[in-house]
A and B are shown apart, each in its own frame.
Chain A
């Protein structure tokens, strides 16, 4: 149990376009979902936390207008990178927690390359 999927697993896009990444909890209801970003040879860095039905909370330095997060249901959160630029190229990974639990279950991540 506690499987989280992400789609797509990799995406290449042109500079200026927007890219949507989906994160789904397949066999549980995820009250909270987290989005992380990992640049080469760096740690996973938390970008934002989203609770179902409410606005996401962004970490310092993360532009909320650039990284749009929607958590409209208990099994789906989406991250949209708007007007992507090459510096947004990174590995994006989501995680989810169940109601009342702190353990995070991770998706397999999405590799974004912006040309």
Chain B
């Protein structure tokens, strides 16, 4: 993998469903993986910064895992709520430089 890729591009779920999406990135020379939550007309908000292989981070109903050897990270949302509707971005960090994936747009229907 040469670039940062996210899948799926978009996702519709019902309120209460749990969901997850994937971020794939080049595994060589890994430094850090960032997850952001971006609501329409607002600034992207940092969710997690992950650096260690096997790392797992949690913030409320949202959690993320990291596999640096195979170059992927999963973001999980448990019991999705309409307010979780946003675009979720991942970015591979190298120093203070970020390379972004295309994002996963999540829409949660009440």
Contact = CB atoms under 8 A, between A and B. Distances in A.
B100 interface: yes
Contacts of B26: none
A46 interface: yes
Contacts, number: 42
Contacts of B44: 93, 106
A50 interface: no
A41 B102 contact: yes
Contacts of B93: 102
A108 interface: yes
A97 interface: yes
A44 interface: yes
Which of A9, A32, A46 has most chain B Cβ within 10 Å? Answer: A46
A65 interface: no
A33 to B, nearest CB: 11
B22 to A, nearest CB: 15
B96 A104 contact: yes
Contacts of A42: 102
Contacts of A49: 97
A4 B100 contact: no
A105 B46 CA distance: 8
B96 A43 contact: no
B98 A46 contact: yes
Interface string A97-113: 10000111111110000
